[in-house]
Amino acid sequence: MPSPFSALWRRLGRRGAALALALLAAALLFTLSRYAAVSSDLPSPSPTYGHRLPTLVDLTLVYDRDALCLDGTPPGYHFLPGFGQGSHSWILHLEGGSWCRNFKSCARRKKTNLGSSAHMDSRVEFVGILSDDESQNPDFYNWNKVRIRYCDGASFSGTVQDEVKNGTGFFFRGQRIWEAVMADLLSKGLSRAKQAFLTGCSAGGLSTYIHCDDFRALLPKTPMVKCLADGGFFLDVEDISGRRYMRAFYNDVAWLQDVRKKFPRCSSDMEPGQCFFPQEVAKSITTPMFILNPAYDVWQVEHVLSPEGSDPQNLWRNCRMDITKCSTKQLEILQGFRKALLDAINEFKNRRGWGMFIDSCFIHCQSMKAITWHSPSAARINNKTAAEAVGDWFFDRREVKEIDCEYPCNPTCYNVALDEPYKQD
């Protein structure tokens, strides 16, 4: 039986059929163009709470014969130019990633992106405080943004001039990396900044405490210069076995990379590692500083409070990875850890121009994650996200000294549950 389309074809003839097909194609094209026009007005699909996909930013290497990563390769950064009203404002972010305390751990490290630019990604996503999406980063989205890669193992503070260990290739030159990267950025417009903001996360947060006043000194003509340390207030406290594990760790870092030179004001009767803690570094900072820290920092719970060597029976394993699995006794110890943090930052609470946001979450580094910086799932204190609190403080819209109540009081907290422990070199 012939199809209705073949019958239609015979009735129309070849010319008529060709005309009909042309009209059909035109109608289809019109329909598709209308759909495309409508679709272009819709938000792009994104896994990050309705925000568009993050911008990818290329790696720039800095060639300076004295500024070298652990393995001797050049350091680098990622730079995203600002636009509109933010074109003369700069935000620099110092990357984190723990430290290496001896040749063995530094040898492992220099085979990774944390010790060699040869292992760094050529492009990275800019999210959180570095995002150029206004909905994700309302106060700083259109600024010039720089992510400075971390490859020296000592929070940009090592001062050893010669190659170490008989020519086998260890370079401890974090201070020189800082200077070379800053010189490069100053030549690219940072020197003309009207506003500048130095930030850092984790070991990069410690770097921000260390270099905050250095940053201010580089920009004598810039009216507003401030600093933010995220998840970088590491505590000099006893662990669950009564040892000061983190002080011993920092002692090793300080001796290995001759870090003591960075802290001439540190008391001579103190161990070198003590000078490396933010509580000591911050005492001499004169530039306005913002302390962004969780009271139950998941990295510190694992490596400062309950390091593996202090827990031979592994009783803290579940608690270290998920705060909801902590016992009543462990929670009591965590509340004591929170109190130690509040005691340590108390002397900075009343400093003029300083700000803080201490939430009761089980997390580490909140400015570099879209979900914790400014999203529907971000923690709030007094109905403000970390992004809103930092923006209010930076632009002097209000005084920000936010300290949350004890866990588990804050239902807005985003608490991580780890599949495996954080690594410590």
Active-site residue flag, 374 = no
Name the active-site residue from 78, 211, 303, 364.
364
- Counting the structural domains of the chain, the total is 2
416 part of a folded domain: no
Q: For residue range 278-321, what is the model confidence (pLDDT) as tens digits? A: 999 999 999 999 999 999 999 999 999 999 899 999 999 999 99
418 part of a folded domain: no
Name the active-site residue from 139, 297, 311, 404.
297
Give yes or no: residues 118 and 171 share one domain. Answer: yes
What phi, psi does 228 have (nearest 5°)?
Answer: -135, 125
Give yes or no: residues 262 and 181 share one domain. Answer: yes
Q: Taking the CB of residue 172, how many other CB atoms lie within 10 A of it?
A: 26
49 part of a folded domain: no
What is the C-alpha to C-alpha distance for residues 172 and 156, in angstroms, rounded to an integer?
Answer: 9
Give yes or no: residues 134 and 250 share one domain. Answer: yes
Give yes or no: residues 213 and 279 share one domain. Answer: yes
CATH of the domain at 189: 3.40.50
Give yes or no: residues 248 and 338 share one domain. Answer: yes
408 part of a folded domain: no
Active-site residue flag, 93 = no
Find out whether 74 and 117 touch, Cβ atoms under 8 Å.
Answer: yes
262 part of a folded domain: yes
Helix (H, G, I), strand (E, B) or coil at 255: helix
Give yes or no: residues 34 and 150 share one domain. Answer: no
75 part of a folded domain: yes
Q: For residue range 172-215, what is the model confidence (pLDDT) as tens digits? A: 999 999 999 999 999 999 999 999 999 999 999 999 999 999 99
Give yes or no: residues 33 and 162 share one domain. Answer: no
Identify which of 241, 325, 234 has the alpha carbon closest to the alpha carbon of residue 273: 234
For residue 32, what are the domain limits?
1-40
Q: Taking the CB of residue 244, how many other CB atoms lie within 10 A of it?
A: 18
**Which strand ranges, in their side-by-side order, compose the sheet holding 224-230?**
123-126, 55-61, 76-80, 144-148, 89-94, 195-201, 224-230, 289-294, 355-359, 401-403
Q: pLDDT tens for the chain, 425 residues: list them.
A: 444 444 444 444 544 444 444 443 443 333 333 323 322 222 333 344 455 799 999 999 999 999 999 999 999 999 999 999 999 999 999 999 999 999 999 999 999 999 999 999 999 999 999 999 999 999 999 999 999 999 999 999 999 988 887 566 899 999 999 999 999 999 999 999 999 999 999 999 999 999 999 999 999 999 999 999 999 999 999 999 999 999 999 999 999 999 988 888 888 889 999 999 999 999 999 999 999 999 999 999 999 999 989 999 999 999 999 999 999 999 999 999 999 999 999 999 999 999 999 999 999 999 999 999 999 999 999 999 999 999 999 999 999 999 999 999 999 999 999 887 666 65
Give yes or no: residues 183 and 81 share one domain. Answer: yes
Name the active-site residue from 89, 98, 202, 360.
202
Active-site residue flag, 364 = yes
Give yes or no: residues 84 and 155 share one domain. Answer: yes
Give yes or no: residues 129 and 102 share one domain. Answer: yes
Give yes or no: residues 27 and 79 share one domain. Answer: no
Give yes or no: residues 181 and 270 share one domain. Answer: yes
82 part of a folded domain: yes
210 part of a folded domain: yes
